[in-house]
Amino acid sequence: MAVGGLDPGGGAGVLADIRAFERAGAFGCAAVAVSTIQSVSGLRSVRVEPARHLVAQITEVLEHQHVGAIKIGALGSVENVRALSRELRRHRNIAIVVDTPILPTRGRARLIEPRALPDVVDRLLPLATLVTVNVDEAYTLLGRRVRSSGDARDAACALASGGARAVLVKGGHLRGPLATDILAVDGDVVELHAPRLTGATVHGTGCTFASLVAGRLACGAGGVPDHNGLLAAVRWAKRVHHAALAQAVQVGHGMRVMTFRPHAGLTVSRGAK
């Protein structure tokens, strides 16, 4: 299950989540926390769904369908963060992957209000099997800059100390020939490397990566994974995500998007960032 934003352009949010779930071999469903006006040209505006409506969507699915993992994206409001956290505490046997979108790649509308961030850190992240953040999100949540792999290691460990099972700080915004992600998991720190890709901006990369992990976990042994199962899911997602980035496609006038199947009429962008 994806819990997050509806991007009518399809490049990010729950529509991108569903595609990633399918690539992992899982059937995807979704609960919408925010509705947006956006496309590959950027985010225009955000409308937050009421917390009671969000919870009703989630509980309906959890009562009648077999959910192996939950991926959480844009939540919009402090009320949604608090209501979702209360609901997730009732389902601790389900793997939870928390992505932390705060600001869009393009556009000025926020995907979560600033006053909700302390609740994200204190209420939501401690429930996570895995938290994924880029360097800008790590700075927003921790108040410290991430300029190197060493900084990313410190940030991952600091966020994990709050209770999350594992934290991945993504290195796509850092410099160097390798895009190195830092994973703090069960007290260990693992570096995940891939050749850095250059080119046009790609939309929905964070949503897609987190959902690849969640989809892989949902297709695993069931329940919260052990150390090796979680590490294997992250490594698999890194490989698939990198390949999809290298084959990002143009669907309009703006950012490229990630897809996992060839489509007639789409322009393939080799070496997209």
The pair of structure tokens assigned to 142 is 């921790």
> Which CATH number fits the domain that encloses residue 116?
3.40.1190.20
For 8-63, write each residue's pLDDT tens digit. Answer: 999 999 999 999 999 999 999 999 999 999 999 999 999 999 999 999 999 999 99
Note whether residue 164 is domain-resident. Answer: yes
Note whether residue 258 is domain-resident. Answer: no
Nearest CA among 127, 61, 52 for reference residue 92: 127
| DSSP string across 226-248 | -HHHHHHHHHHHHHHHHHHHHT-
Which SS3 state, helix, strand or coil, does residue 60 take?
A: helix
Which structural domain, as residue segments, surrounds residue 229?
Answer: 2-242
Note whether residue 23 is domain-resident. Answer: yes
Note whether residue 247 is domain-resident. Answer: no
Check: CB of residue 82 under 8 Å from CB of residue 108. Answer: no
Note whether residue 220 is domain-resident. Answer: yes
Task: Kindly list the distances between the CA atom of residue 61 and the CA atoms of 8, 53, 54, 96, 236, in Å, as whole numbers in the listed order.
Answer: 22, 13, 11, 15, 27
- Amino acid 171 reads G
**Left if phi > 0, otherwise alpha if psi is -120 to 50, otherwise beta: which for 21?**
alpha
Least confident interval from 75-79, 104-108, 203-207: 104-108
Query: What was the pLDDT predicted at 176?
Result: 77
Note whether residue 214 is domain-resident. Answer: yes
- How far apart are the C-alpha atoms of 143 and 139, rounded to whole Å? 5
Note whether residue 272 is domain-resident. Answer: no
pLDDT at 263 over 70: no
Note whether residue 271 is domain-resident. Answer: no
Total structural domains within the chain: 1
pLDDT class of 179 with cuts at 50, 70, 90: confident
Query: What was the pLDDT predicted at 262?
Result: 57
